[in-house]
Chain A
């Protein structure tokens, strides 16, 4: 399983691997927002946590269809499915690799983009914390969606339609945590809910992903 993780990370780093694509997309989305809503600093700093969260979510979505599609197209997925690795292990490793190449970089760059939006000083800690807690859930749910649509030609749009509604709880509590933290309000409830969602999907969804993957490989 470590071998698979190393291979996926290596593939992501190589030419055409898509690493950096999500980051660039995140950057552009966040830069575009002030053009859309105007340069009013008080408004921007108020909506900054929400923009950062929606931007991170869309950037995450962008790279989901690569999780299984590439391996399916060149036949690796069939070969992996007949290897000693359990399907649950494969989907878990895929989700981890996706988070390391997409989620984690987004967490790291979010504070920098926070400056662009005039995020208040106390907000930086909370935006990083909320993304750190929430993005693993985005990767795990996304892996489930990718497993559902593997084998469908041009399945990217269908994947987005399936996955975006599933992202709603993570988005609500993630953005709420960042907003409350930024405004100095009590953060206990959204923090626990966000952490709970991430723990629950990480524990349960790999089994569902493995099951649909097996069906799709038939």
Chain B
């Protein structure tokens, strides 16, 4: 099973950002998206996750297999770490949060409320959520923002374990995680839309 993207165009706010994006990612492999700010990495990831429709082209991926982690972690300030994580475990129909807690050293913070966490701790909780979803294809948007070095290493370990267990990850990141041979790097600059055509009428109405 693999994620196949062919000739994909994505747009944001009525402006086409990327055109003709074509790649495929097999399970057990990861793809790192590179490119300057504002190129459309986030938009591409949101399209892959099914949050928005492709402008053109196709994404071949069983819908129930993708999980998205964006700039925001979706952590409720008044719920504890345990309640936050258990909620997502229930939503995705998986029950155990122990492995995720161990991977990101969150066990000591279990009864701390979400609002009391530091930025890095919040990010760790957000990444731990990925593990309780039990899904194969992870769409990660800048996953290492506000993580310290030790946590980045934990994150790299998690990705390695995920790939080894037949998972896959597509991530936009600027740092080198040292993931090894299963990782490809795709520079999106090559797919920058040459004719940024505006189709404002429909978007303005919506």
A residues adjacent to B (C-beta < 8 A): 2-4, 7, 10-11, 14-17, 71, 73-85, 215, 217-218
Contact = CB atoms under 8 A, between A and B. Distances in A.
B79 A14 contact: yes
Contacts of B128: none
5 contacts: A73-B72, A78-B74, A79-B69, A81-B51, A82-B50
Interface stretch (B18-26, B28-36, B60-68, B156-164): B60-68
Nearest to A215: B206
Contacts of B66: 82
A153 to B, nearest CB: 15
Contacts of A73: 72
B170 interface: no
B77 to A, nearest CB: 8
A217 B43 CA distance: 12
- What is the size category of the interface that chain B forms with chain A? 20 to 34
Given A4-B91, A85-B91, A218-B52, A76 B206 contact: no
Contacts of B133: 83
Contacts of A78: 46, 51, 68, 70, 72, 74
B92 to A, nearest CB: 6
B40 to A, nearest CB: 14
Contacts of A17: 78
Contact of A82 (B68, B73, B90, B93): B68
Contacts, number: 72
B113 to A, nearest CB: 9
Given A71-B74, A75-B71, A84-B93, 10 more contacts: A3-B90, A4-B91, A7-B76, A10-B79, A77-B74, A78-B70, A79-B88, A82-B49, A85-B91, A218-B51
Contacts of B74: 71, 74-80
Contacts of B90: 2-3
B105 interface: no
Interface in B1-54: 46, 49-53
Contacts of A85: 91
Which 9 A-B residue pairings sit nearest by Cβ, starting from the closest? Answer: A75-B72, A3-B90, A76-B74, A14-B78, A218-B52, A75-B74, A79-B74, A82-B68, A7-B87
A14 B114 CA distance: 13
Contacts of A81: 51
B68 A74 contact: no
B142 interface: no
Given A7-B87, A80-B91, A85-B91, A74 B76 contact: yes
Given A84-B92, A218-B53, A74 B67 contact: no
Given A7-B87, A82-B68, A83-B92, A74 B51 contact: no
B75 interface: yes
Contacts of B50: 82
Contacts of B73: 74-75
